[in-house]
Amino acid sequence: MVLARKDPVRIKDLAEHFGVSPSTVSRALSPKGRSLISADLAARIRAKAEEMGYVGDVYATGLRTGRTRTVGVIIPDIQNPIFPPIVRGIQNRMDEAGLVTLIAYSDNRIDLARREVERLLGRRVDGLIYASAFLEDPVIDFCREQGVSLVLLNRSVRGARGLYHEVLNDEAEGIRQTVAHLASLGHRRIVHFNGPVDVLQGLERREALRRYVREYGLEAEECECTAFSREEGARCARQFLSARPSATAIVAGNDLIAIGAVQVFKEAGLRVPDQVSVVGFNGMPFSEMFDPPLTTVAIPHVQLGARAAEILLGEMQGESEGPLTVKLEPVLVARRSSGPAPGGAVDDPPRATETSLKPSIPSS
Amino acid sequence: MVLARKDPVRIKDLAEHFGVSPSTVSRALSPKGRSLISADLAARIRAKAEEMGYVGDVYATGLRTGRTRTVGVIIPDIQNPIFPPIVRGIQNRMDEAGLVTLIAYSDNRIDLARREVERLLGRRVDGLIYASAFLEDPVIDFCREQGVSLVLLNRSVRGARGLYHEVLNDEAEGIRQTVAHLASLGHRRIVHFNGPVDVLQGLERREALRRYVREYGLEAEECECTAFSREEGARCARQFLSARPSATAIVAGNDLIAIGAVQVFKEAGLRVPDQVSVVGFNGMPFSEMFDPPLTTVAIPHVQLGARAAEILLGEMQGESEGPLTVKLEPVLVARRSSGPAPGGAVDDPPRATETSLKPSIPSS
DNA sequence: GTGAAAGCGCTAACAA
DNA sequence: TTGTTAGCGCTTTCAC
């Protein structure tokens, strides 16, 4: 049994047991040192270390080498439902590699992000995964100055491409699928309740929408939300109701905007999807339980996290093949908040692409 | 500006600046040592340290003192929606106290929980917050053997009271509010889709239900779910449909069981709440967006986390006033999945206790 | 009230 | 291939 805390096994103990010096044991235990000593002895030391439950002292090693086998992750808020799967993806990969992950919250404020980066650097993290909220972000330059390995996750900064590692969702592809879906349902005029354009996602989704609306021969108007929130979705929905446009579908900047809009439509007696279709973005958990179940673009959050961790690990080992930009493909999940355009010709009848019960996460 | 990484300020630098010895600076900077040196010098050293951006080296201190200003938190899975707010509550408090929080996942498996505890102890955490899944859990004894400060959170173990610090939701009170609510709506016969009774919550909720059903003069049957999952809720709902009992309301063991049941009822054409009321438990995010919006017992998750952190901090400072058991009060949030009993006399008409839009969490 | 010195456990230069 | 030695930055006796 491991006695990790009570009386930890030290290198000295192993050295005495074998009648060798601490350095020899240290070499036997470290990947690079192992080749310097006799293979047989190294193997025996390693076996005994395992048996005695040797766990290297992270603090001694950290002090001596400056490397701490610790990484930091900065996200806006773990209570935002897109981040738990991202964090899990990161930690899965880091745990595998024997690193520990520190999680810090910026609450979407640059000053807090900066403070948290400083705290993490003070903790001597070997690398950082940063989910920045804004297109312009001085905190990223600060990280660069500090010389810490850095991967940008899910949110990016203007001009970052080629400067920093980035792991991103393919926003344009998600919008393309959305537009294709609505076009196939016979919609011809849509309104985009776009998210804030000072955030990468808001900007990219809006630009992709403009492009694909053209390519698919549709027409679009826009209502700009100042935040990715239900309140803003509701505001645009009220505006939509009072303007009474001829559009038959809403493409929301994300799921929260979508559900804010749906709620207002329902309260106003506008039937979704009979009178207006609504499509979200993010594939947030339980969106299939909403009323109506929400059609949305599912982002591979766990894989985004895992991929970012992977790249950071490579970077930390000095495998510097130049800054990478990785885009992962999202998938539109068609549910019942979108349907045939009222009175419109339908090229392709709607299908149920998702059956009722899927494996779910146990809760207390 | 702080240069946390590039060339950190050390005690030696401060010592040289003031022409004193490192010991003096160390004393000036530590709360206990401060009283040993001249107050004036201490103040000047502290001011300068602040100005120069001195950040003590956690690894040197950890090595020297054995205390690491780090705590570990073990939860089943951050993707389970009840845990993000708990984690946030813990971290808010720990950050305030200048401690760092390591989060590990057990996936509700005792072997993994054990492994994670060992990893955390290997990382020399000063304390542990443990959200154990089971009523019997040897991992807790292991923690005790290791002599690490420990607080049990949200999930408890049989016989733990008086042995370990516990921070719990008041399950009985939540059930009492549920039963009172249904009674006031005229329900007389209910079915409890209870959660697994080898988990504290499942057991306590069931026992409370039996008690309050009696106290309020109702009658209850039970259908036991083997997990807190939608699948199990759906299974009990199908059983309910085929048995066609006279009950008019379902009390679900948690929200997932509730939504699994609601889904089956809807598919079978049974109207909620006109023909059957359903009440959940947990107050999970976005449950107000479900169809119908779910009546549920909201647990103060953030406060649970903050309280657990508070107690752990006290324990780590040796403020040992004996093991504490803290219970926090949940609140029933009445929404539209519960309504008057069909054909029953209503003592008290249902009210809308929640209006439509509440502040929500921004999402990308 | 302050300084000198030792040492936490580990690794890496240097020596043999 | 292995041992010796020094020292990472800090705290804490012990001496003055």
Q: Which residues of B touch A81 (CB under 8 A)?
A: 81, 84, 285-286, 361, 363
**What pLDDT, on the 0 to 100 scale, is given for residue B362?**
39
Nearest to A360 among B4, B148, B256 (CB): B256
More confident position, B53 or A358? B53
pLDDT digits (tens, 9 = 90+) for A271-312: 999 999 999 999 998 888 888 999 999 999 999 999 999 999
Residue A360 reports pLDDT greater than 90: no
pLDDT classification of A159: cutoffs 50, 70, 90 = low
pLDDT digits (tens, 9 = 90+) for B276-301: 999 999 998 888 888 899 999 999 99
A 170-229: CB within 7 Å of strand C: none
- Under 8 Å between Cβ of B122 and B337: no
pLDDT digits (tens, 9 = 90+) for B230-265: 999 999 999 999 998 899 999 999 999 999 999 999
- Under 8 Å between Cβ of A85 and B79: yes
Count the Cβ atoms, other than its own, within 10 Å of residue A351.
7
Helix (H, G, I), strand (E, B) or coil at B201: helix
Q: Which of A177-181, A228-232, B68-72, B135-139 has the lowest mean pLDDT?
A: B135-139
Kindly identify which residue of chain A lies nearest to residue B226, measuring between CA atoms: A362
**What pLDDT, on the 0 to 100 scale, is given for residue A244?**
80
**What pLDDT, on the 0 to 100 scale, is given for residue A5?**
60
**Is the peptide bond preceding residue A285 cis, with omega within 30 degrees of 0?**
no
**What pLDDT, on the 0 to 100 scale, is given for residue A209?**
98
- Residues 6+ away with beta carbon under 8 Å from B55: A122, B2, B4, B8, B9
Alpha carbons A254 and A191: distance in angstroms, whole number: 14
Please give the CATH architecture assigned to the domain spanning B11-56.
Answer: Orthogonal Bundle (1.10)
Q: Which residue has the closest alpha carbon to C9 C1'?
A: A60
**What pLDDT, on the 0 to 100 scale, is given for residue A352?**
40
- Under 8 Å between Cβ of B99 and A102: no
Q: Across residues A227-249, what is the average pLDDT?
A: 94
Q: Where are the domains of chain B?
A: 11-56, 68-170+301-330, 171-298
- Under 8 Å between Cβ of B91 and B101: yes
CB contact under 8 A, A256 and B55: no
Helix (H) or strand (E) holding A267: helix A255-267
Identical fold between A11-56 and A171-298: no
**Token representation of residue A214:** 């053209």
- Under 8 Å between Cβ of A342 and A277: no
pLDDT digits (tens, 9 = 90+) for A85-112: 999 999 999 999 999 999 999 998 999 9
Q: Which residues of B touch A7 (CB under 8 A)?
A: none
Rounded-to-10 torsion of CA B12, B14, B18, B19: 10
Residue A346 reports pLDDT greater than 50: no
Pure H helices in chain B: 11-18, 22-29, 39-52, 58-65, 83-96, 110-122, 138-146, 171-184, 200-215, 230-243, 255-267, 301-316
User: What are the C-alpha distances in Å from A149 to residues A129, A311, A325, B109?
Assistant: 9, 10, 15, 34
> Chain B closest CA to A96's CA: distance in Å?
12
**What pLDDT, on the 0 to 100 scale, is given for residue B359?**
35
Alpha carbons A252 and A260: distance in angstroms, whole number: 10
**What pLDDT, on the 0 to 100 scale, is given for residue B208?**
98
Alpha carbons A344 and B251: distance in angstroms, whole number: 44
* Chain C bases having any atom below 7 Å from a protein CB: 1-5, 7-13
Taking 70 as the pLDDT cut, the residues of chain B under it are 1-5, 156, 158-161, 344-364
CB contact under 8 A, B84 and A84: yes
Count the Cβ atoms, other than its own, within 10 Å of residue B57.
19
**What pLDDT, on the 0 to 100 scale, is given for residue B159?**
64
User: What are the C-alpha distances in Å from B351 to residues A201, B100, B335, B340?
Assistant: 40, 45, 9, 10
**What pLDDT, on the 0 to 100 scale, is given for residue B134?**
76
**Token representation of residue A319:** 């495998």
Helix (H) or strand (E) holding A310: helix A301-316
Helix (H, G, I), strand (E, B) or coil at B309: helix
Kindly identify which residue of chain B lies nearest to residue A59, measuring between CA atoms: B59
Please give the CATH architecture assigned to the domain spanning B171-298.
Answer: 3-Layer(aba) Sandwich (3.40)
Helix (H, G, I), strand (E, B) or coil at A150: strand
Of A198, A299, A363, which to mutate for an interface test with B (greatest number of B Cβ within 10 Å)? A363
Q: Which residues of A touch B4 (CB under 8 A)?
A: 118, 121-122, 146
pLDDT classification of A363: cutoffs 50, 70, 90 = very low
- B41 is near strand C: CB distance < 7 Å: yes
Count the Cβ atoms, other than its own, within 10 Å of residue B14.
22
Q: Which CATH class is domain B68-170+301-330?
A: alpha beta
Angle between helices B39-52 and B11-18 (to 10 degrees): 120
Residue A121 reports pLDDT greater than 80: yes
**What pLDDT, on the 0 to 100 scale, is given for residue B154?**
85
> Chain A closest CA to B70's CA: distance in Å?
10
Instruction: Please give the full DSSP string across A53-100, using - where no structure is assigned.
Output: T----HHHHHHHHS--SEEEEEES-TTSTTHHHHHHHHHHHHHHTT-E
pLDDT digits (tens, 9 = 90+) for A32-54: 888 888 888 899 999 999 999 99
